[in-house]
Amino acid sequence: MATVAAGPRLVANPIGWLKHERRWALVFSYFALFVFMIFFLGPPYYMLVTSLKTNQEIANLATNPWIIADGITFEHYWKLFAETGFLTFFKNTVIVTLAVVAITMVVSILAAYALARLKFWGAGILALGIFLTYLVPETLLFIPLFKFIGWLGLLNNYVSLIVVYPTISIPFCTWIMIGYFSSIPRELDDAALIDGCNHWQMLWLVFIPVALPGIIAATIFAFTVSWAGFIYPLAFLYSQDQQVLTVGTVTSLIRGDVFHWGGLMAGALLAAAPPVLVYAFLMDYYIAGLTSGATKG
Amino acid sequence: MHTSWTRRRLVRATSLAAVGTLAAPYVKRAHSAGTVTLGLWDHWVPGANDRMVELANEWGAENNVDVQIDFITSVGNQNLLTAAAEARARAGHDILSHPTFQIAVHQNALEPVDDVCEALMAEYGDFADNAVYLARLDGTWRAVPTCAGSQSYPMCSRLDYFRDIAGVDLQDMFPAGPRDPEKSKDWTRANFLEHARKLHAAGHPFGDPIGQTSDSQDWLGPLFLSFGSMMADENGNITADSDETREALAYMEELVQYMPDDIYAWDDAANNRWLISGEGSTIHNPPSPWTVAKRDAPEVAANVWHHDAPAGPRGHYRGNLPYFWGLWEFSPNKSAAKDLLLHLARREQQAALVEASQGFDMPMLKSFDDFTTYVDAAPPSGTLYNYPVQGNEILTVAGWPAPPSIAANIYFQALIPNMVARVTVDNESHDDAIAWAIDELEGFMRG
Amino acid sequence: MSQQTGVPWRRRQRTFGRHSGLLDWFSSRSTVGVLMCLPVILIIGILVVYPFVFSIYLSMLNKPETEFVGLGNYVFLWGRETFWMVVRQSLIFTFFAVLFKVLIGLAVAHIIHHLPDRGQRLWRGLALIPWVIPPALGTLGWWWLFEPRYSAFNWLLQGMGFEAIAWLSDVFWARFAVVTVNVWYGAPFFMIMYLAALKTIPAELYDAAKVDGASPWQQFIYVTLPMMRNIIAITILFSTIVTFANFDIVRVLTQGGPRNSTHLFATYAFRVGIETGDVPLGAAVSLFMFPILAVLAYFILRNVRDRSERV
């Protein structure tokens, strides 16, 4: 398996497969794909349509809800920028996400290298312990964590999220990275050791370059965790100037029992845009990375 | 017994004098350049938060105290999360806004505010019974009832539909001014069934949710009480198994026939949309749908009248969710904070807050029912006059009269709507639904 | 395969090497290992283990948190019908959500994998969209689609001559709705994992199967599935954990209704702990998740290890 996963040259040839199969298989594939895409993209499409409708049309029961009948309006997007703290939420979210990704990657790579290669006393138990922390739900931790964040003086400060989000991202990322590092042939270590590398140099010069796809995969996971987090910002942040995208959008557009649907949908789509861009760029690495890493876990 | 009596007497006596002195200059000396922090409910009406900041800053400037206010939303229960966390961290704001049942939840972490409440009562008379029930625990006021966020659940009805379809003149029964009780004596649960039937037949039914959300509790709780059905008594004894409960369930079986089929999936906003869309004839709600309709559907708004819920065979109740300002027992600035609370809870400030909320807020001191905001609201002229109780309705909340910590379970675990839905949707017998409720109640009883 | 036998041999050799004078190297290796793990130990120790232990303590207090009641809260929950309903629902929800995430993920990955290269990037990009919309906001969109009066789904159904469905007020449909939204959100991630795994299966295996006259279905059963067992197990493991602990979808869509029929552990714990103010009992509800997940994780992990040893 290890040798197989390392080599992208062994990819199956889909075109070859297609040539030998009957035509209807392709037709059926496209049909099935079409059905699945309706399932995946129907709700985002509906959100897009809603975000471009006027309030009157959203409230109107008589028209087809799936199309825009009364003309497109960008009013909800404009209001999002002008009348809510959306740009502030955006800035805060970016800062939190970048910091969490950086912390997660440094901590996970160090730990994963040590656990995968340096068989020190207790390494196995530690690896299991890191996995077990993944089983502890956020809903259980926020009260004690609030106490800790208060002690740090970080209540109502988005820096608190930089402190707590790594607890969600590190266990998963460490496990992915352990899988990656284990799949690196030991011959590489031996060669590096003979060249006189110590462990820090070996990690930096050998392991990180070789496992780059896995690192990118883990990065994207950490990115998602901190970008989409909901419970912790809900519990720790209340000022608009400290708020992040998810909670900020919801709390500034649901006022009492009045829902500003157009704005909510616009906010959801705008919040989804940065991850889409990030993933589009990194997709190929991501695919190669996640697979060979996770199969070794 | 004797000592507590004299203590209360003493408090009352001194607070009479304290009305003036509490706001007196001691703060200037003792707390100059100090800071009081407040985490207040984030009001959904635009401008209401700003008014609050102005009022607090007025006091701050006068007393040379720095006032910092954070507005914490109830969306996603953020306010409950914040309170639960601050109570355990013993850190955070000095003063926090608490909705309905949370005073009992945080009873041990809240500073007694008898002095503030007694001072207010000495000047303005009694608080609504519901506020006393929820915030005066074991004889001690643990928080100050406020208008900011407090609401009641009158009916919001279409004058035209009731007049044309049901033949009822709501403005005549519940005028924007002194009323003649004779005229509204037929406004009963029994007669309401007949109105609901006609409105349903004409395509404009009465609609309210029967589900997990709070609006469901706020109309069904008072409805059950008006039949005399109580889930548990003030000592926590389960009293759900009663002829009164069966009578209320039988009433609901009939009423739901005249309501939309999808009410079991309605949330708190669905009944608002129901009214605003012009389809619905009446709902139970604070004036928020009317406020939105003024913007989005003015012809609907001009026909909406807020008025009493129907009287039941054993009482006349209206749903009410009060808000309170609680002072943490671990606050380092208690005396300055109390002084600020007293300032904000007084008539002038409460009237300003109600005005800024466009009449959505409802003061919990009974004598504040004459604020000009309610009198002046239009169109139709005087529609909010009856938003504060003007007749003989008693403000209450689902779960009353059980101890508030048990009532909170009855309310949030949606005991009454679930019991109704078991009968009306699952076709369970009354006995089975009541047996289920009793089993649930036994679970709510833990100390 | 050849490595499996090779590794222990090499290890043994190294051990001999250490004894013959490289003791300092051994100790430095240990030191470096501990140093490198220090950040993760600190972070997890302070931010997970300590709060976790505190929560266990909290769950052993009475409601006003003035008295230690030991396992009282757990015993209480054990006897509550509503709690067992939550346990059953969480298991049902997790089972169906994970099952459909696996099936849909596999199906879409398989289809995309066999498309011409050029189209793959577009399709997998589009299929990922549900996963990048923050779930709390995406669920709001779904909720608006299910809303009883404004439901755009019902508009379509009625347009086609069917009855409108009471999506969130009928017990079956409400459960269907929460599972559907979870599958919608999670399936794209599965798809990407499986697509990547498919790409690592050597073409030689398929060629060999074809020579033996295997149909595409047989190739899938006898080549693709065995090669993907590990990745399927791993995705099931991690997804089971996350799905079991799900909060936002149910909270936004149904708040646990109708008649408590969609409550999961997290939403029920929130209702008990935060809304009704019984934090110790809420903590006890949440903690019940831990042993259930640990048992599930044990079986899935053991499965993975057995399989990888066999391969």
**Tokens standing for B189?**
């649960």
Residue whose tokens read 């939105």: B292
Q: Tens of pLDDT along A11-31?
A: 444 555 445 556 777 788 889
A251–B73: do the CB atoms touch at under 8 Å?
yes
pLDDT in tens, C216-253: 888 888 888 888 887 788 788 888 888 998 888 998 88
Q: Is B298 an interface residue toward A (CB < 8 Å)?
A: no
Q: Please report the residues numbered 79 through 118 in chain C whose beta carbons come closer than 8 angstroms to any beta carbon of chain A.
A: 104, 107-108, 111-117
CA angle, A98 then A104 then A110, to 5°: 135
Say if the Cβ atoms of C167 and B421 lie within 8 Å. Answer: no
**This prediction's pTM:** 0.84
Average pLDDT score over residue span B69-89: 86
8 Å CB contact of C230 and A295: yes
Structure tokens at B291: 């406020």
- Least confident range from A34-38, B64-68, B83-87, C104-108: namely B83-87
In whole angstroms, give the CA distance from residue B82 to residue B96.
9
Classify strands B136-137 and B140-141 as parallel, antiparallel or unpaired.
antiparallel
Residue by residue, what is the 3-state secondary structure of B16-70? HHHHHHCCCCHHHHHCCCCEEEEEEECCCCCCHHHHHHHHHHHHHHHHCCEEEEE
CA C195 to chain CA centroid, Å, is 18
Q: Among partner residues C44, C131, C198, which is closest to A133 by beta-carbon distance?
A: C44
Contact call for residues A70 and A57 (beta carbons, < 8 A): yes
Check whether the bond before B403 is cis (ω within 30° of 0): no
C-alpha to C-alpha distance for B218 and B399, rounded to whole angstroms: 10
Query: How many Cα neighbours within 13 Å face the side chain of B445?
Result: 16
B57 inside 8 A of chain C by CB: no
Chain C CB within 8 Å of residue B271 CB: no
pLDDT value for C81: 87
Q: At what angle do helices C171-199 and C81-113 cross, to 10 degrees?
A: 40
Q: Is A24 exposed, middle or buried (0-12, 13-18, 19+ CB in 10 A)?
A: exposed
Structural domains in chain C, CATH included, are 1-58 (no CATH), 70-310 (1.10.3720.10)
d(CA A195, CA C10): 19
- Rounded Cα distance between C293 and A93, Å, is 31
Domains and CATH numbers, chain B: 2-151+321-376 (3.40.190.10), 152-319+391-444 (3.40.190.10)
Angstrom CA distances, B9 to A62, B14, C267, stand at 65, 8, 46
**Distances C158 to A60, B308, C147, C154, C165 between C-alpha atoms, Å:** 17, 38, 15, 6, 9
Which residues are B389's β-sheet partners? none
**Considering only residues 38 to 67 of chain C, which have any Cβ-Cβ distance to chain A shorter than 8 Å?**
39-41, 43-44, 46-52, 54-55, 58
What pLDDT score was predicted for residue B198?
Answer: 95
Placement of tokens 């755009």 in the chain:
C152
**Residue type at A101?**
V
SS3 at position C99: helix
C210 touches chain A (CB under 8 A): yes
Report angle CA C14, C16, C18 to the nearest 5 degrees: 70
Structure confidence at residue A11 (pLDDT):
43
pLDDT of residue B232: 95
Average pLDDT over residues A29-54: 92
- As a whole number of angstroms, the distance between CA B209 and CA B216 comes to 5
Asked if residue B96 has pLDDT above 80, the reply is yes
Cross-chain residue pair A135–C297, CB shorter than 8 Å: yes
Task: Determine the residue of chain C that is closest to A164 in CA distance.
Answer: C47
- Give the model confidence (pLDDT) of A239-280 as tens digits: 888 999 998 988 888 877 678 889 999 999 999 888 888 887
pLDDT digits (tens, 9 = 90+) for B180-218: 989 988 999 999 999 999 999 999 999 999 988 889 999
Look at residue C304 in the predicted model and tell me its pLDDT. 62
Burial class (CB in 10 A: 0-12, 13-18, 19+), B44: buried
Distance CA A262, CA C36 (A): 49
Whether omega before C130 lies within 30 degrees of 0, making that bond cis, reads no
Confidence of residue B343 (pLDDT cuts 50, 70, 90): very high
Q: CA B381 to CA B359: how far, in whole Å?
A: 13
Return the structure tokens found at A136.
């502890």
Interface residue B88 vs chain A (CB under 8 A) = yes
Q: Is B146 on the interface with C (CB under 8 A)?
A: no
Task: Say yes or no for a CB contact (<8 Å) between B85 and A250.
Answer: no
Residue boundaries of the structural domains of chain A: 1-73, 82-296
Instruction: Write down which chains contact chain A via at least 3 CB pairs under 8 A.
Output: B, C
**C117-176 residue pLDDT tens:** 777 778 888 888 898 888 888 999 999 999 888 888 989 998 898 888 888 888 899 999
How confident is the model over C12-51, as pLDDT tens digits? 444 444 444 454 555 577 778 888 888 999 999 888 888 8
d(CA C294, CA A128): 11
Q: What is the pLDDT of residue A127?
A: 85
* Res C22: pLDDT: 54
Disruptive mutation site among A253, A257, A261, A264 for chain B (greatest number of B CBs within 10 Å): A257
Provide the token pair at A58. 């959203």
Query: What tokens were used for A272?
Result: 């989804």
Alpha-carbon torsion, ordered B271, B276, B277, B279, to 10 deg: 70
Among C29, C41, C47, C285, pick the best mutation site for testing chain A contact (most A Cβ within 10 A). C47
Identify the residue whose tokens are 């625990």.
B137
Q: Cβ–Cβ of B42/A257 closer than 8 Å?
A: no
- A-chain residues near C115 (CB < 8 A): 14, 29, 33
Q: Mind listing the pLDDT tens digit for each residue in C192-204?
A: 878 877 877 777 8
**Three-state secondary structure string covering B381-439:** CCCCCCCCCCCCCEEECCCCCCCHHHHHHHHHCCHHHHHHHHHHCCCCCHHHHHHHHHH
Residues in chain C with CB shorter than 8 Å from the CB of A129 are 44
A147 vs B: CB within 8 A: yes
**Res C57: pLDDT:** 92
Contact A256 B44 (CB under 8 A): yes
Whether B277 sits inside 8 A of C169 (CB atoms) is no
With a CB-CB cutoff of 8 Å, which residues 60-119 of chain A face chain C?
Answer: 61, 64-66, 106-108, 110-111, 113-115, 118-119
What is the average pLDDT value for chain A, to the nearest integer? Answer: 81
Dihedral angle computed from the Cα positions of residues C107, C109, C115 and C117, in that order, rounded to the nearest 10 degrees: 180
- Residue B447: predicted pLDDT: 55
CA distance A149 to A170: 19
- Do residues B296 and B127 lie in contact, with contact meaning Cβ atoms separated by under 8 Å? no
- Which distant-in-sequence residues (6+ apart) come within 8 Å of B400 by Cβ? B130, B133, B221, B225, B230, B407
Match 């109708």 to its residue by tokens: C258
CATH code that applies to domain A82-296: 1.10.3720.10
Neighbouring-strand partners of residue B238: B232
pLDDT confidence tier of residue B219, bands split at 50, 70 and 90: very high
DSSP assigned state of B188 = B
Please measure the distance between the N-terminal and C-terminal CA atoms of chain A and give it in whole angstroms: 12
Stretch 7-36 of chain C: residues touching chain A, C-beta under 8 Å: 7, 10, 28-30, 32-36
Task: Indicate the residue of B39, B75, B215 with minimum beta-carbon distance to A251.
Answer: B75
pLDDT at B51: 95
Tell me the C-alpha distance between B164 and A283, whole Å: 64
Contacts of C63 in chain B (CB under 8 A): 405, 446-447
Reading the block at residue C167, the tokens are: 């999506």
